[in-house]
Amino acid sequence: MEEWDVVIVGAGPAGLTAGIYCGRAKVKTVILEAMSPGGQVLTAGAIENYPGFPGGISGPELMGRFLQQVKELEVPVKEFCQVQRATLSKDRLLLETSSGAFGCKALIIAAGAQPAKLRVPGEDRYIGQGVSFCATCDGFFFRGKEVAVIGGGDRAAEEALYLSNIAERVYLVHRRDRLRAQRLLQEQVLRNPKITPLWRKVVEEVLGDQGGVKALKLKDPSSGESSTLEVEGVFVAVGQVPATEPFRGLVELDERGFIKTDDRCATSCKGVFAAGDVRAKDLRQVSTAVGDGAIAASSAIAYVESL
Ligand code: NAP
């Protein structure tokens, strides 16, 4: 069993920031990452609202810089290390992972979130054959084709804008008659001639054949009227599911599975802190994840020093 002062779960913006703070405080820290460092930000084409980068910066480049800073502080990042279960035993936290067991005095959960599914017939069947959750990953397959983006938040707006540079036409299918995305993104979407919003429409089914997606079956929830939209790609952007399953039972979650914290990022379990998209909060941005990471790390450092 490896013993550490602080274990950070997740190497997205929140986890890497926490790593920088713990590294600078000379606290014995390791970061465990289920995939490769960077988190969901790796799928962002351009980040235009993170201060210090006028004109924007690509997600991978920004995360590369975070990681470089962590490495300069000699905080190890263990990749492809999936946490399966976390428990508390007296003052010691135990983590069972795909790469063995870890013990620590303080735990920072910064495991992030994954895209939510629509949960309609055909969605799972056509994943990789027209259904995608990431325009920057899969958009190039749809050059010159007609595609749909589902959702009305920041992510849906960004996916639609990204795809408008590739696809022939982008239908933005939303269940309300206005977007919830930031005003600037809304304006960019609504004045983009390649994006056609389809208001008050819910997806009932993804239709296709052996060749992949061919259409969406839509329904107007107020009139009950059904329609078919012919598209070859469907980009689902209907929110996030937090990666909190391994911590269920250890910390208190809200009704959607996000971790409840106080304003020092402390959870209901002593010695356990949460940062970034896993935390129950209003604004999920790189900048707020960075703020969380700094607060969670300073709380964890103070906790370790108090033992
Ligand atoms: P979100 O803000 O939760 O928006 C999800 C959208 O999907 C909402 O418009 C919602 O509709 C719709 N929706 C949910 N379930 C649906 C269903 N079953 N069928 C059809 N539509 C459904 O999620 P997000 O856009 O993924 O963003 C997640 C977080 O990351 C947000 O805090 C966001 O601000 C942040 N983010 C920020 C940026 C940025 O700053 N540039 C970029 C991406 C994401 P309703 O409107 O009716 O609820």
| Averaged pLDDT for residues 17-29 | 98
Q: Are 257 and 244 in contact (CB under 8 A)?
A: yes
Tens of pLDDT, residue by residue over 210-268, are 999 999 999 999 999 999 999 999 999 999 999 999 999 999 999 999 999 999 999 99
Distance between Cα 180 and ligand 1 center (Å)? 7
| Averaged pLDDT for residues 119-128 | 96
Homologous superfamily of the 2-114+240-306 domain (CATH) = FAD/NAD(P)-binding domain (3.50.50.60)
- For residue 177, the tally of other CB atoms under 10 A from its CB is 10
91 catalytic? Reply is: no
- For residue 137, the tally of other CB atoms under 10 A from its CB is 11
Nearest CA to ligand 1 atom 38: 154
| Averaged pLDDT for residues 31-50 | 91
| Averaged pLDDT for residues 270-283 | 96
Q: What pLDDT is attached to residue 45?
A: 78
How far is it, in rounded angstroms, from Cα 134 to Cα 147? 13
User: Which atom from ligand 1 is nearest to the alpha carbon of 113?
Assistant: 28
pTM: 0.89
User: Which atom from ligand 1 is nearest to the alpha carbon of 176?
Assistant: 47
Catalytic residue among 134, 154, 265, 269: 134
117-236 fold: FAD/NAD(P)-binding domain (3.50.50)
Q: What pLDDT is attached to residue 247?
A: 98
Q: What pLDDT is attached to residue 252?
A: 98
DSSP 63-113: HHHHHHHHHHTT--EETT--EEEEEEETTEEEEEETTEEEEEEEEEE---E
Distance between Cα 24 and ligand 1 center (Å)? 35
pLDDT at residue 46 above 90?
Answer: no
Q: What pLDDT is attached to residue 51?
A: 96
Above pLDDT 90, what percent of the chain?
Answer: 95
Ligand 1 site-directed mutation target among 42, 117, 155, 204, most atoms within 8 Å of CB: 155
Tens of pLDDT, residue by residue over 51-110, are 999 999 999 999 999 999 999 999 999 999 999 999 999 889 999 999 999 999 999 999
Q: What pLDDT is attached to residue 44?
A: 83
- What residues does ligand 1 touch, defined as CB less than 6 Å away? 49, 118, 150-156, 158, 175-176, 180, 202, 237-240, 283-285
Tens of pLDDT, residue by residue over 142-157, are 999 999 999 999 999 9
Give ranges for CATH 3.50.50.60 in the chain: 2-114+240-306, 117-236
Tens of pLDDT, residue by residue over 213-223, are 999 999 999 99
282 catalytic? Reply is: no
| Average pLDDT score, the chain | 96
| Averaged pLDDT for residues 1-5 | 95
* Bridge partners, 299 (sequence order): none
Q: Are 175 and 239 in contact (CB under 8 A)?
A: no
265 catalytic? Reply is: no
Structure confidence at residue 43 as a pLDDT band (50, 70, 90):
confident
